[in-house]
Chain A
Amino acid sequence: KQEVTQIPAALSVPEGENLVLNCSFTDSAIYNLQWFRQDPGKGLTSLLLIQSSQREQTSGRLNASLDKSSGRSTLYIAASQPGDSATYLCAVRGNYGQNFVFGPGTRLSVLP
């Protein structure tokens, strides 16, 4: 059974810092991995999707990497801003057509 963990559970940084959020999964046989952002009281917004054959994906100040063999993904946020404050969740999909298994999330606060 796939299990997903995220470290740290919470993170507080001053504005402008570069930061890394970590996601680990127990079963390396995944189809893809998706990073989401969740603002308080809101649904999930898709940030990046990495296919199992890819090593990384970039969107603006965000860069997500995937190391399937070690069961790890990282989300790198450059030059953080207060608007980046949210909970970040990673989710893995075992096979094409299967559902996503989520981690518990990392709650990020970027202080002005």
Chain B
Amino acid sequence: EAGVAQSPRYKIIEKRQSVAFWCNPISGHATLYWYQQILGQGPKLLIQFQNNGVVDDSQLPKDRFSAERLKGVDSTLKIQPAKLEDSAVYLCASSSDRWGNTEAFFGQGTRLTVV
């Protein structure tokens, strides 16, 4: 089966600009996650969707970050305006969460550099 697809792979923007990332999860996976991974650290959850509803966005900086999953399939994460500290890899993951199958699969990530 196809894996989790993310685009773009790399993005360089100036501070205060806006940027958007796209994720297409594995077909049929109900749960979608966005994680932020700063260099040398483990991934940190930004937002979790179950179908098209938000399950957890407690760590999402809502003054500048937004995410949507309108039809319960693909998702977009936006940053506006970007800050230097937003430089990180943004990882999208999905899991089936059906019949107890909770294994998570990750995309290749989008490396964001804010200058």
Contact = CB atoms under 8 A, between A and B. Distances in A.
Q: Do these two chains interact?
A: yes
A104 B42 contact: yes
A106 to B, nearest CB: 11
Contacts of A36: 106
Contacts of A99: 33, 45, 48, 55-56
A4 B55 contact: no
B97 interface: yes
Contacts of B4: 43
Q: Is the interface of A mostly helix, strand, loop or mixed?
A: strand
Chain B contact residues, majority secondary structure:
strand
Q: A interface, how many residues as a size bin?
A: 20 to 34
Interface of A: 4, 31-32, 34, 36, 41-46, 49, 89, 91, 93, 96-105
Q: What 10 A-B pairs come out closest when comparing CB atoms? A: A102-B42, A44-B106, A43-B108, A43-B106, A99-B45, A104-B42, A99-B48, A43-B109, A49-B103, A102-B43
9 contacts: A34-B103, A43-B6, A89-B43, A97-B55, A97-B97, A98-B48, A99-B45, A100-B45, A102-B35
